[in-house]
Chain A
Amino acid sequence: MARGSVVIESAHLRTLILTLQREGYQVIGPTVRDGSIVYAELSSDGDLPVGWTDEQEAGHYRLRRRDDQAVFGYAVGPHSWKRFLLPSPFVLWRARRTADGVLEETPPADAPRYAFLGVRSCDLHAIRVLDRIVLAGTAVDPIYAHRREQAFIVTVQCANFAPRTCFCVSMGTGPRATAGYDLALTELLEPGAHRFVVEIGSERGANLLAHVPHRPARAADLRAAEQAIARTATQMGRRLDTNGLKAALYANLEHPRWNDVAERCLTCGNCTMVCPTCFCFSVEDRTDLSGNVTERVRQFDVCFTTAFTYTAGTSHRHSARARYRQWVLHKLATWVDQFGTFGCVGCGRCITWCPVGIDITEEAAVLSSRRGAGAEDT
């Protein structure tokens, strides 16, 4: 919850980044690479995508120049924060077979101290979803836990762009972030007054701001920020009716639409890779040439492969239909039973990055309709 708000001038975004770096954080934030906005280590504010926006539709992503100097005027790109919280590939352990057969293990390196700059509301919820899975279950994943504990989160409220494939309003995950951050920025682009309203979400956040020039937020600043976020909410490009969704999907496991979508789905797994909550991993043991040193490596896995369910000579999900069904059913139904929340935060990445433009909101609407009704979502 916000512990007050201040305003910093756009020029002092640089100071914010420098302060984080001085405090020992590796600052990760949005930057332009290969024609998209990805998350990478920032050396300074100069690495941020100033003056860029994106154009997103099902199976479509393009960067476009803006006619202003907005720093955060775009929706989420293909990356999400899981790539830092659940590093992949990751060496779980390394062992050596010695003359007397004893094994030595190499302790894993210390976890980096990350500051995430530009965490959108949907992604804050995605991190919270991951917390439930890897921190609150029967076993705690120490790799995630170390990174998560230390991470400093600077949220950016969604404003100044039209969210085409987003549906956070439907999922109750945005566009306004209300908790879970250390600082939350709302970018205000007024002629001659490029500034950020900064909501303070933690003690840590407040302490950091002591090193960044700022002034108290006035009522007009706060009003402008709320309006900018509210405008984003009204521009949502997609919607998904979650009312009764879980039960409807459970009741429709043999819906003809699964066959229909399977005809289009390439089972490439792009959706799982861009999804901010997809957490599945596989492990592989690798040896050196001598065969005496081995390491166990874990990396993200994709439920769209037949190998994913391969057991004792056979795969449990042969058809594309079964594999797509597993993914959607997990996101929107079984996840709720497993973790008490949807596995979808409405970020829209899977829609944008699907090479054939399969839209989860459209599929879910049909799949949760009465069997064979073929309802159109309008």
Chain B
Amino acid sequence: MTAPGPVLRSLVDPFHPHPYRVVARRRETSDTVTLRLCPATDPYLPGSPGQFMMLTAFGIGEVPISLSRVPDRSGMLEHTIRAVGSVTRHLVALRPGDWVGVRGPFGTGWPLDLARGRDVLLVAGGLGFAPLRSALEAILERRQDYRRVTVLLGARTPSDVLYRQILPRWQRRNDVDLRVTVDRPDERWRGQVGVVPQLVSQVAPSFEPTETVAFICGPDVMMRFTVRELQRHGVSDDRIFLSLERNMQCGVGLCGHCQLGPFFLCKDGPVLPYSRLMPFYEVREL
């Protein structure tokens, strides 16, 4: 996935964003859009599933956003962004042709190497599907390298489910078991109702716990309960990977904001195995 690009200015000076342009904008939910970005100048930035970029809205500020689609051969990439603060509100409002500053890629990606030859379980809550989408696409590109592939998605309501245009394409495949659940159904919802950790028991019979690698991304409470469920079904802690969200400002372990115990989540994470996270992740307010 990681293309060995030419020497990047960001390696010399990690604080300078690269100019990108919005080339497409797709509304996902009431407050979330996906932006397709294209490098305005060479060289373009590489990136692997699970890594994140720092996106700058001109004159407003910078935020960490994970890659929902990794850069293709022309450097085109996608970010799914929810409007929650001033920077993300501005990013979500951008239109094709608008400028975006991009720094990155930062952090650890999903351990696809470890997942190869094993059952893979992707568990996403809400916007947590964005970084897992890039993993799913990488897996489907080389589907034969993996055993059972299961995707469990949770959202608050049916209209909060991400990537609804593409979802049916994945659901139609017989080599992917994709299940969606919502907390609060509307009158037209015919799928499952409940929280996403509950789905683990449903699919547990179909995967081999000792040969399973799980990738989880979502709200902390959802990840904690999902981990419990996976443990209960015999998946070992060093095969359960979480992607954590913290205040990230520099992306290179220099600004200090994203610390969790000994980890700088921007460079040691955001993806870490539960076995390493556990002593710190389970301590309140650490």
**What is A's interface to B at a CB cutoff of 8 Å?**
92-93, 95, 97, 101, 103, 105, 133-134, 137-142, 250, 253-254, 279-285, 287, 291-292, 294, 296, 298, 301, 303, 308-313, 316-319, 321-322, 325-326, 329-330, 333-334, 337-338
Contact = CB atoms under 8 A, between A and B. Distances in A.
A140 B99 CA distance: 27
Interface string B95-115: 001010000000000000000
A241 to B, nearest CB: 21
Given A103-B19, A322-B286, A301 B56 contact: no
Main SS class of interface, A: mixed
B246 A311 contact: yes
B221 interface: no
B117 interface: no
Contact of B255 (A103, A280, A285, A329): A280
B262 A283 contact: no
Nearest to A282: B249
B61 A284 contact: yes
Interface of B: 11-16, 19, 56, 58-62, 84-85, 97, 99, 245-247, 249-250, 252-257, 259, 261-262, 264, 267, 279, 283-286
A284 B250 CA distance: 11
- Most-contacted residue by chain A among B99, B252, B254 (CB, 10 A): B254
A254 B282 CA distance: 12
A92 B13 CA distance: 10
The 4 tightest CB contacts between A and B, nearest first, are: A280-B256, A139-B252, A322-B285, A337-B262
A356 to B, nearest CB: 22
A282 B14 contact: no
B259 A296 contact: no
Nearest to B257: A308
A73 to B, nearest CB: 35
B285 A138 contact: no
11 contacts: A93-B15, A137-B254, A253-B283, A254-B283, A279-B256, A285-B61, A285-B62, A294-B58, A296-B62, A311-B245, A330-B259
Contacts of B245: 311-312
Contacts of A334: 259, 261-262
A139 B15 CA distance: 10
Given A138-B267, A294-B58, A316-B246, A301 B255 contact: yes
Contact of A97 (B58, B262, B267, B284): B58
Contacts of B259: 326, 330, 334
B84 A317 contact: no
Nearest to A142: B13
A138 B254 CA distance: 9
A319 B273 CA distance: 27
Given A283-B62, A296-B15, A137 B262 contact: no
A284 B15 CA distance: 12
B256 A318 contact: no
B254 A95 contact: no
B59 A133 contact: no
A292 B99 CA distance: 13
B61 A280 contact: no
B84 to A, nearest CB: 5
Contacts of B59: 97, 285, 287, 291-292, 294
A285 B247 contact: no
Contacts of B12: 142
A371 B10 CA distance: 47
Contact of B246 (A93, A141, A309, A333): A309
Main SS class of interface, B: loop
Nearest to A334: B262
Given A334-B259, A334-B261, A103 B249 contact: no
B101 to A, nearest CB: 8
Contacts of B254: 133-134, 137, 139, 141, 279, 281
B286 A95 contact: no
Contact of B58 (A95, A139, A313): A95
B80 to A, nearest CB: 14
B285 A283 contact: no
A313 B283 CA distance: 20
B255 A281 contact: yes
A105 B19 CA distance: 11
B7 to A, nearest CB: 14
A318 B285 contact: yes
Contacts of A105: 16
Contacts of B58: 95, 97, 294
A69 B279 CA distance: 55
Contact of A283 (B11, B84, B249): B249
Contact of B60 (A141, A285, A318): A285
A313 B15 contact: no
Contacts of A319: 285
Contacts of A134: 254
Given A281-B249, A334-B259, 6 more contacts: A101-B97, A140-B14, A291-B59, A309-B257, A310-B247, A316-B246
- Most-contacted residue by chain A among B11, B85, B261 (CB, 10 A): B261
A301 B12 CA distance: 24
Nearest to B64: A311
A109 to B, nearest CB: 14
Nearest to A333: B262
Nearest to A86: B254
Contact of A285 (B56, B252, B264, B283): B56
Nearest to B57: A285
A283 B250 contact: yes
A292 B14 CA distance: 23
B252 A308 contact: no
Contacts of A309: 246-247, 257
B285 A308 contact: no
B246 A303 contact: no
